[in-house]
Structure 1
Amino acid sequence: MPAHRSLAIAAAVLVTVPGCGLITAQTGPNTLTVADYYTAEPGNTALTEILRACGEQTGVTVVREVMPRSQLVPKLLRDGAADTLPDLVLSDNPDLAKLASTGALLPLDGRVATDGFYDSVLAAGSYQGELYGVAPGVNSLALFYDRGVFAEAGLEPPTTWDELRETAAALTEGSRYGLALSAIGTEEGTWQFEPFLWGAGAELTDLDSPEAVTALTFWASLFSDGSVSSSALNWQQSDVAEQFVGGHAAMMINGSWQLAALDAEEDLDYGVVPLPTPNAGDQPATPLGGETWAVPRGERQERAVELLDCVLSPEHMLEWARLRADVPAHPDIAARLVEEQPELAPFVASAPSAEARTVDLGTGYPAVSQAISTALQRVATGQLDPAEALARAQREAADAS
């Protein structure tokens, strides 16, 4: 039998590593099942290879069930109700609270080696003070800038909000905007606004606070100045990167996952710096992104924990982060990777202070996220002013909880 075999079943792909087989109720004690949404490269191949190596090391056969991201959590919730969950799950960290709230996940404190990991990484994997998920690598946001455009204008990358606004306005010319960002009415828009929200001292639990109004007022000024295209209301972060690569934006707010694509552009000379803050010397407050591994309770949970420990080992943590331009969960491994990839330095610098989006809100985060992204759209299109939009967002989030 071939080492890797894929079968299309109900919009999912089953990949057996290294043998062949399907997920069934009779899956043996030496076969572990994994559910994830890594359908695209390089994550798909990287994950397959890491699981293959760890399967050999721990003496198990690993069966991956790969499906579109939008299908993963609904399927896991159905499987949990039917008591047919896989042995390991890799999901987006904001989804962990929903899974943990069902009682189906195994607490990982004392079971998985996480000594020395960033506190922010462990916070992102926690629900109600208990660790249920661990990420091998994480991502966040930074400011990318076109070195050629800045050199021609005789400007330096901005470090404060005032400098960001002034620089973006100065570099807006013709078909080129000073700044590109995502303001789409989904979690991507909220994710990109959160550094402004937290930077102003606001919290996700108090959307209509004076600090939150300050943040949204500044954010909106970038649109009213004409420094950000109104099309940003429809842009995903991949669209933002396309605008930057195409020379239609002198700066962009984006994540470390864009580095490989940018490096492939031969004519693009870019730099990356930490996100500007309200005041010089402040630490950027970026949201913590990335996926967490979790272990559902079950007969094979101890074998699953053993496999997860291997996945989180320094060797595999570095391999995973290197391929995905993630920040490794352990500072020592992160320092090693920055030596290889210096452009990751701003992302590594922000990791200790990065914010886990569900720490305070738990399962209530999606409703708050949607309320924020809707408020952004209302303000950018002139429907409401920042204070009105955030007051409505606070009510909508409360009604949905």
Structure 2
Amino acid sequence: MLFWEYTFPNDDSPPIWKDTFKENYNARGDAPLTIGRFSYEDLRQKFLTGARTGDPDVIEGVLAHLTEYIKAGHLEPLDDRVEELDYFDGFVDSALDAMRYQGKLYGLPYTGNGRALIYRMDVLEELGQEPPETAQEFQEIGRLINKEVDGIQAYHNCTKDGSVRAFQEWMSHVYQHTDQLYVPEGDAWALNIDADTLGQIFDNWYYQVWAADEPLGNPDQLGTGWQVNDPGYLNGQFAFIECGTWLRGWTTGTNINDTDATATLLNENTGVGHLPYGDGGSKGTFLEVKPIMMNSHSDQKDAAWDAIATFASPDTMNAMGEDSPGNAMTPVHDEVESTIDNENWEPFVDVFKTGRALAKVGWGPVREPFYRLMQEVSYGKTDPYKAGTKLHEELTALESEL
């Protein structure tokens, strides 16, 4: 039984979660278990092109993958099997609803969070500033930081082509202006945002950050992803990033320069808040719910189900919280204890409540023009509002294909 994932911690910490999963799986089933690790970009591509071989039997991923896999015919519905689970009724409704497509359940959730603004409390205090609520306040404070504070850049976001995180960050700001980017219209989908709003998002979060005369970010870091974003904050390089709960427990590993300094930063100097929003916007963010799913082409579906039922069980998820505390700060099951142990991080609970799950469209065609135009704006090659108009045209043209 082959399981592909990119979620177990991959550092020097004790593998409590992974070991608990393997022990619980062995107690439930007898098919030998093999675990393969790939980045989410590679995992998605390998599964879309190779799932018909039957490998892997089980795959973990992000929510955007689920719809793509369904439309490709690669996921097995789980409705009949979940009836045997004594813990099934304990899942948070919004997390479970995110796993459904056209009335069928295609995965079980195991972790969830709302994307939040992570900020340096000590830096804001030094400058006499409050956490920003609007995009304008955010930009003003960011430029003040770049001018007045040595050794730190105001902000970083992900601009790597094809980056899952870049897409999630963009959707977080989309959800500040609309509940869904696409809404059902008969048997098709209709785009649910105007061109000017798309242009404003490009302006606030890409042009002002990277291409303006006084950029908030470091232009030398253009085109980078989470590999710069998250460790950069943890190593004290940025005052603001957009991130999820996993950051809380990341104090060791090859990406961390000084474990003690990072622990102090997270425990004493980090605050959490809602993402700043632009004109006409309000509180809202990308709801990340990660699924574990079964390959419809697997020839070991009973063993695959054993792995899914074990992985998404409260016992395994509580071990996840012990091993990777950030993953259980806003748990998706009522038998899983939140790992929030610091009042500065408690706002994540409120952020989680404003999260919106992706509509069940095929997101691959949507992401392609976003990545292209996002980079054009970030590199200063296209006016953000012209990019908004172009993106609106291209996303509208996709309505009948989704």
Match of 2:228 among 239, 244, 255: 239
Q: Are the structure 2 counterparts of residues 92 and 198 from structure 1 closer, same or farther at C-alpha, using a change threshold of 3 Å?
A: closer
Q: Are the structure 2 counterparts of residues 342 and 319 from structure 1 closer, same or farther at C-alpha, using a change threshold of 3 Å?
A: farther
Contact 1:194 1:286 in 2 (8 A): yes
Map 1:202-281; keep pairs closer than 5 Å.
203-205=180-182, 206=191, 209-219=195-205, 220-223=207-210, 224=212, 225-262=214-251, 264-266=259-261, 268=265, 269-278=268-277
Distance 1:37 1:241 in 2: 16
Q: Are the structure 2 counterparts of residues 107 and 232 from structure 1 closer, same or farther at C-alpha, using a change threshold of 3 Å?
A: same
SS in 1 for 2:387: helix
Amino acid at match of 1:349: D
Distance 2:292 2:195 in 1: 35
Report the CA distance between 1:142 and its aligned residue: 1.8
> Residue 91 of structure 1 corresponds to which residue in structure 2?
61
Distance 1:343 1:61 in 2: 44
Q: Are the structure 2 counterparts of residues 104 and 239 from structure 1 closer, same or farther at C-alpha, using a change threshold of 3 Å?
A: closer
Question: What are the Cα deviations for residues 27-54 of structure 1, in whole angstroms up to 9, with x where unaligned?
Answer: xxxxx44333458615994554133222
> Residue 193 of structure 1 corresponds to which residue in structure 2?
170
Map 1:343-362; keep pairs closer than 5 Å.
344-357=345-358, 359-361=359-361
Question: What are the Cα deviations for residues 192-211 of structure 1, in whole angstroms up to 9, with x where unaligned?
Answer: 22222221237534365332
> Residue 153 of structure 2 corresponds to which residue in structure 1?
177
Report the CA distance between 1:389 and its aligned residue: 0.9
TM-score by structure 2 length?
0.77
Q: Are the structure 2 counterparts of residues 249 and 291 from structure 1 closer, same or farther at C-alpha, using a change threshold of 3 Å?
A: same
Map 1:1-400; keep pairs closer than 5 Å.
32-37=1-6, 41=10, 45-46=15-16, 48-69=18-39, 70-77=41-48, 79-82=50-53, 84-109=54-79, 111-112=81-82, 113=85, 114-173=88-147, 176-187=152-163, 188-201=165-178, 203-205=180-182, 206=191, 209-219=195-205, 220-223=207-210, 224=212, 225-262=214-251, 264-266=259-261, 268=265, 269-278=268-277, 284-289=283-288, 291-297=290-296, 300-324=300-324, 325-327=326-328, 329-330=331-332, 332-333=334-335, 336-340=337-341, 344-357=345-358, 359-361=359-361, 363=362, 365-397=363-395
SS in 2 for 1:382: coil
Distance 2:307 2:38 in 1: 24
Distance 2:175 2:65 in 1: 21
Distance 2:143 2:45 in 1: 44
Distance 2:300 2:377 in 1: 51
Question: What are the Cα deviations for residues 126-163 of structure 1, in whole angstroms up to 9, with x where unaligned?
Answer: 33342201121124422222232222112222233333
Pairs aligned (count): 364
Q: Which moved more, 1:232-241 or 1:65-74?
A: 65-74
Question: What are the Cα deviations for residues 82-115 of structure 1, in whole angstroms up to 9, with x where unaligned?
Answer: 4x34442223332222322243432123532432
Distance 2:108 2:231 in 1: 32
Contact 1:118 1:352 in 2 (8 A): no
Distance 2:179 2:309 in 1: 37
Amino acid at match of 1:63: L
Structure 2: runs of 5+ lacking an equivalent: 183-190, 253-258
Structure 1: runs of 5+ lacking an equivalent: 1-31
Distance 2:374 2:250 in 1: 28
Identity %: 19
Higher RCO, 1 vs 2 (CA within 8 Å, ≥6 residues apart)? 2
Q: Are the structure 2 counterparts of residues 185 and 93 from structure 1 closer, same or farther at C-alpha, using a change threshold of 3 Å?
A: same
SS in 2 for 1:391: helix
Question: What are the Cα deviations for residues 159-213 of structure 1, in whole angstroms up to 9, with x where unaligned?
Answer: 3333322221222225533222223333332222222222123753436533222
- Alignment RMSD, CA only? 3.4
Contact 1:39 1:68 in 2 (8 A): no
Q: Are the structure 2 counterparts of residues 272 and 131 from structure 1 closer, same or farther at C-alpha, using a change threshold of 3 Å?
A: farther
Contact 1:168 1:227 in 2 (8 A): yes
Amino acid at match of 2:67: A
Q: Are the structure 2 counterparts of residues 194 and 78 from structure 1 closer, same or farther at C-alpha, using a change threshold of 3 Å?
A: closer
Contact 2:114 2:353 in 1 (8 A): no
Distance 2:242 2:49 in 1: 37
Report the CA distance between 1:360 and its aligned residue: 3.8
Amino acid at match of 1:72: L
Contact 1:158 1:164 in 2 (8 A): yes
Q: Which moved more, 1:147-156 or 1:173-182?
A: 173-182
Distance 1:241 1:104 in 2: 32
SS in 2 for 1:250: strand
Contact 1:38 1:44 in 2 (8 A): no
SS in 1 for 2:129: coil
Contact 1:194 1:287 in 2 (8 A): yes
Distance 1:75 1:132 in 2: 19
